[in-house]
Amino acid sequence: MRRTGRPTMVDVAAEAGVSLKTVSRVINGEPHVDPGMAARVLDAVDRLGYHRNALAASLRSGDRDTIGFIAADLSNTFYMAIAAAVSAVASRERMHLVMASSEEDAVRERTLALDLCQRQIGGLIVVPTAVDHSYLSREVELGTPVVFLDRPGSGIPADAILLDNRGGARDAVAELLADGHRRIAVLLDAGGIFTMTERLAGAREAFAAAGLDLDPALVVEGLHTPAVARDAVDRLLDAQEPPTAVFCANNRITIGALEAVVSRGSTVAITGFDDFELSRLLPRRIRIVDYDITALGARAAETLLTRRADPATGSHTHLVPTCLVDRGGVG
Amino acid sequence: MRRTGRPTMVDVAAEAGVSLKTVSRVINGEPHVDPGMAARVLDAVDRLGYHRNALAASLRSGDRDTIGFIAADLSNTFYMAIAAAVSAVASRERMHLVMASSEEDAVRERTLALDLCQRQIGGLIVVPTAVDHSYLSREVELGTPVVFLDRPGSGIPADAILLDNRGGARDAVAELLADGHRRIAVLLDAGGIFTMTERLAGAREAFAAAGLDLDPALVVEGLHTPAVARDAVDRLLDAQEPPTAVFCANNRITIGALEAVVSRGSTVAITGFDDFELSRLLPRRIRIVDYDITALGARAAETLLTRRADPATGSHTHLVPTCLVDRGGVG
DNA sequence: TTGAAAGCGCTAACAG
DNA sequence: CTGTTAGCGCTTTCAA
């Protein structure tokens, strides 16, 4: 045995006085090995502190037992929750999860994705920031399945798991309209984001269905942080004709809106997309467009695994349903 | 070129009419390559859709560019936030992060850790559930650095990044005592957990420093969910001599206590360890033992990388400081 | 049932 | 500047 580095199967074989192949058989639990030999091998393994090199093992067979997950922004609890769900499925299937964040940067996303592919991963789950994903087409052709999560991708055949953004927003706004609200503000993050576009479209559909129009002055975009959303809501409520209700297109905006509304004691109705921790403990009642976030991540992972097992089927887009729920009002 | 599988450097070399080594040089951006040859190689790479196999590359050199992170429970936002911080450092250092959850199961932790080591990772960050980590001693000897996070490990030389649990709890309870409280309930999760033991010890220290004793009837352990904590608080407040203040040893307990206290309109003082999302929007004022959770994860990752670069130094335990802050009270 | 030999895709010496 | 020759640690034929 070489005195340097980790012991290898060759070292174990020498120590046990058997052939390399026998060691390999024992280590991998293959049948038809004489118990006596197996015992000697195991003994040598112990004595040497041998650990199998999984990388070398998969070099030949190309075993791909890790899943790559590229989130758009890991500092967002939404994506972290999804990562946890993906991790749970991966580990149930005895696979590993390698996780990275594109920071909403298309170039970074591409670099990360290609980098992971170079590591011969078994599949890739991406929350896309880039608009075109043909940079992955070669990998997909060669058998690495890709699943888009939360936002659709383009340029390659790949499954997508999305929320029913439009339906959820439509139902939420329809309810506000049914409650008699007419001046409903719609607060959004950057307009370019897929989910924002969809949720705005859903809100418009609700207005259209009621034969009404959404006042353009009440549509505010680009609210990327709670602080910015808070300021926007303050401004709206200070206006000549303030809204009687606000629809917040994501959880950060809802939080900002709440900060503004609660601190000024306003009674404006609030409905927000995305639930958040402790929403139940809020001092005032709000409505939330809720959904099963675990299902979102789990479904992505499961779809990936299915696709790995059976690449033949055509690619699908799956919509995760939403529902309106009550939150807060404990004060 | 073989018609099956992904193209290799040999294929590229054949296609470009150069040697394998030249291809390797071009792919790895080594200097001293004739621009003309380089162009031919790049051309062939393009034509074949060649992508480097990073696994094969690292087989020889033993490059270890991924960090393993084993959390105790990824469904807990505390660990998710830490994972995000670790991920940020990893990606800054151009390393990958593979993440898993032990689900507070020592056997699972061991399996995961050993599994990751088999994949030749460059280092391991563990939130330990197991009490003895000598199962990792061989890996540590062979040069895989291990860093314990949030809880200390044992049985191997490894750095640890911990919160100042004892100091934080002591300061919190000392403040309650200074405010005139004498009947202070201390609510804890399972007594076996390191952080709980430390926080309870801190609370006792504060009492001792004031020359007082903590009433054993007011120490409640085993509050693993908000619901259980809520019930416990309800019972305490219904008792003959209810506490005038409660110290909650983690965020889930704080939330449960808040549910009880807010819903019955009690004015009992609350101080909790760990901040949580939206604590600022709570309908009543509470005190929080806060700390920089990002620093916790980042420091673990940085320590791991330092150790990788310089294994010589002795192992250290680093305490992340805490501070008392005001939260809530917007209602 | 066991073993020898030939790779997997790449990098590291060492020559040209 | 370029190519040849060995491996990395393991799995996989194919014989024995």
Residues making up chain B, counted from first to last: 331
Q: How far apart are CA B61 and CA A90, in angstroms?
A: 29
Burial class (CB in 10 A: 0-12, 13-18, 19+), B180: exposed
- Give me the residues of chain A with pLDDT under 50, please: 1-3
Per-residue pLDDT tens for B52-74? 999 999 988 888 899 999 999 99
Q: Is there a contact between A91 and B98 if contact means CB atoms under 8 Å apart?
A: no
Taking a C-beta distance cutoff of 8 angstroms, is the pair B146, B157 a contact?
Answer: no
Report residue A141 as tokens. Answer: 């052709």
Handedness of CA A43, A48, A54, A59 (dihedral sign): negative
What confidence score (pLDDT) does residue B2 get? Answer: 44
Q: How far apart are CA B82 and CA B297, in angstroms?
A: 5
Amino acid identity at A143 = G
Q: Is there a contact between A83 and B83 if contact means CB atoms under 8 Å apart?
A: yes
Of the candidates B266, B305, B243, the one whose C-alpha atom is nearest the C-alpha of residue B90 is B305
Q: Which nucleotide is nearest to A31 (CA to C1')?
A: C1
Q: How far apart are CA B295 and CA B298, in angstroms?
A: 5
Within its chain, how far is the Cα of A215 from the centroid?
33
Taking a C-beta distance cutoff of 8 angstroms, is the pair B317, B162 a contact?
Answer: yes
Q: What is residue B271's three-state secondary structure?
A: strand
What confidence score (pLDDT) does residue B309 get? Answer: 84
| For residue B92, pLDDT beyond 90 | yes
Residues 22-61, chain B, CB closer than 7 Å to nucleic strand D: 22, 25, 31-34, 36-37, 56, 59-60
Q: How far apart are CA B165 and CA A126, in angstroms?
A: 38
Distance of residue A283 Cα from the nearest chain B Cα, in angstroms: 5
Q: What percent of chain B has pLDDT over 90?
A: 82
Handedness of CA A248, A151, A324, A283 (dihedral sign): negative
- Closest residue in chain A to residue B73, using alpha carbons only: A84
The residues of chain A that CATH labels 1.10.260.40 are 9-52
With bands split at pLDDT 50, 70 and 90, how would you rate the model's confidence at B137?
Answer: very high
Give a three-class secondary structure readout of chain A.
Answer: CCCCCCCCHHHHHHHHCCCHHHHHHHHCCCCCCCHHHHHHHHHHHHHHCCCCCHHHHHHHHCCCCEEEEEECCCCCHHHHHHHHHHHHHHHHCCCEEEEEECCCCHHHHHHHHHHHHHCCCCEEEECCCCCCCHHHHHHHHCCCCEEEECCCCCCCCCEEEEECHHHHHHHHHHHHHHCCCCCEEEECCCCCCHHHHHHHHHHHHHHHHCCCCCCHHHEECCCCCHHHHHHHHHHHHHCCCCCCEEEECCHHHHHHHHHHHHHHCCCCEEEEECCCCCHHHCCCEEEEEECCHHHHHHHHHHHHHHHHHCCCCCCCEEEECCEEEEEECCC
Task: Say how far A17 CA is from C15 C1', in Å.
Answer: 38
Taking a C-beta distance cutoff of 8 angstroms, is the pair A233, A257 a contact?
Answer: yes
Report residue B271 as tokens. Answer: 């101080």
Per-residue pLDDT tens for B220-233? 999 999 999 999 99
**Beta strands A323-328 and A285-290: pairing type?**
antiparallel
Q: Write the CATH number of the domain with boundaries A165-290.
A: 3.40.50.2300
Give a three-class secondary structure readout of A41-74.
Answer: HHHHHHHHCCCCCHHHHHHHHCCCCEEEEEECCC
Contacts of B111 in chain A (CB under 8 A): none
Contact, B19 CB vs strand C, < 7 Å: no
Fold of the B9-52 domain: 434 Repressor (Amino-terminal Domain) (1.10.260)
Within its chain, how far is the Cα of A101 from the centroid?
11
Count CB pairs under 8 A between chains A and B: 156
Rounded average pLDDT over B128-150: 94
Handedness of CA B56, B62, B66, B68 (dihedral sign): positive
Rounded average pLDDT over B131-155: 94
Contact, A21 CB vs strand C, < 7 Å: yes
Q: How far apart are CA B189 and CA B195, in angstroms?
A: 9
**Beta strands B285-290 and B323-328: pairing type?**
antiparallel
Picking from A98, A114, A138, the nearest residue to B49 by CB comes out as A138
Distance of residue B211 Cα from the nearest chain A Cα, in angstroms: 37
Q: Which nucleotide is nearest to A6 (CA to C1')?
A: D9
What confidence score (pLDDT) does residue A2 get? Answer: 44
Amino acid identity at A235 = R
| For residue B160, pLDDT beyond 50 | yes
What confidence score (pLDDT) does residue A4 get? Answer: 58
Task: Say how far B306 CA is from C12 C1', in Å.
Answer: 27
Per-residue pLDDT tens for B257-298? 999 998 899 999 999 999 987 888 887 899 999 999 999 999
What confidence score (pLDDT) does residue A1 get? Answer: 39
Report pTM: 0.92
Residues making up chain A, counted from first to last: 331
| Spatial CB neighbours of B173, under 8 Å, sequence gap ≥ 6 | B184, B186, B202, B203, B206, B207, B247, B271
Q: Write the CATH number of the domain with boundaries A64-163+293-321.
A: 3.40.50.2300
With bands split at pLDDT 50, 70 and 90, how would you rate the model's confidence at B1?
Answer: very low
The residues of chain B that CATH labels 3.40.50.2300 are 64-163+293-321, 165-290
Rounded average pLDDT over B89-100: 95
Contacts of A60 in chain B (CB under 8 A): none
Strand C nucleotides within 7 Å of a protein CB: 1-5, 7-13
Picking from A55, A259, A276, the nearest residue to B277 by CB comes out as A276
What DSSP string runs through B120-140? T-SEEEE---SS--GGGHHHH
Amino acid identity at A107 = V
Q: Which of A55, A70, A258 to mutate to test the interface with B (most CBs of B within 10 A)?
A: A55
Task: Say how far B95 CA is from D4 C1', in Å.
Answer: 33
What confidence score (pLDDT) does residue A41 get? Answer: 92
Contact, A62 CB vs strand D, < 7 Å: no
